[in-house]
């Protein structure tokens, strides 16, 4: 449970929006880099050697990267359009859903891109296993672990602990 920051509702929304947009700055660059790479891949010399199954996996990766890009860019675009509407609460709530959808799409894009790349040099079994590992790690780190922490916090099993050197009440 987060300590009371003594914020007004407006201050809380302002802080949450800033935190949300800062997080998006980190992820958007990576997603756009992956998407750009995937867009150029069919024009590379070795792509002609990719079999039909590999092309379908590539297609899934390309579309998933596009969906992730759309989801991660949507909050900033909506914030610009709704900037003076006084509805930061809507922007924040909607953006949270877009970020979760974007992370889901990014999981698929990364796993399928890894599968295509690994299949170019290794067996189908190893490519599939590696892609599965990417999915498992992403799902754990991005969804399961934070949901478990959230659940424990709601049940009162997690108390707020200030960072080392910080005392309560400061």
Inform me whether the pLDDT recorded for 121 exceeds 70: yes
Give the per-residue pLDDT at 1.
44
Entry pTM: 0.81
User: Residues 107-110: contacts with CB within 8 Å, 24+ apart?
Assistant: 107/134, 107/135, 107/138, 107/139, 107/142, 108/60, 108/61, 108/64, 108/135, 109/31, 109/34, 109/35, 109/38, 109/61, 109/62, 109/64, 109/65, 109/67, 109/68, 110/34, 110/61, 110/134, 110/138
The stretch 25-36 carries a mean pLDDT of 91
């Amino acid at each position: 449970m987060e300590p009371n920051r003594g914020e007004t509702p407006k201050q809380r929304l302002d802080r949450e929006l800033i935190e949300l947009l800062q997080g998006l700055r980190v992820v958007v660059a990576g997603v756009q880099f992956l998407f750009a790479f995937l867009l150029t891949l069919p024009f590379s010399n070795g792509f002609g050697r990719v079999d039909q199954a590999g092309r379908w996996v590539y297609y899934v990766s390309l579309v998933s990267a596009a969906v992730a890009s759309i989801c991660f860019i949507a909050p900033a675009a909506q914030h610009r359009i709704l900037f003076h509407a006084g509805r930061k609460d809507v922007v924040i709530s909607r953006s949270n859903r877009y970020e979760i959808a974007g992370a889901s799409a990014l999981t698929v894009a990364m796993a399928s891109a890894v599968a295509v790349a690994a299949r170019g040099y290794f067996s189908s079994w190893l490519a599939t296993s590696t892609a599965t590992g990417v999915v498992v790690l992403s799902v754990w780190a991005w969804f399961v672990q934070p949901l478990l922490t959230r659940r424990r916090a709601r049940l009162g099993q997690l108390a707020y602990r200030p960072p080392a050197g910080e005392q309560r009440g400061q």
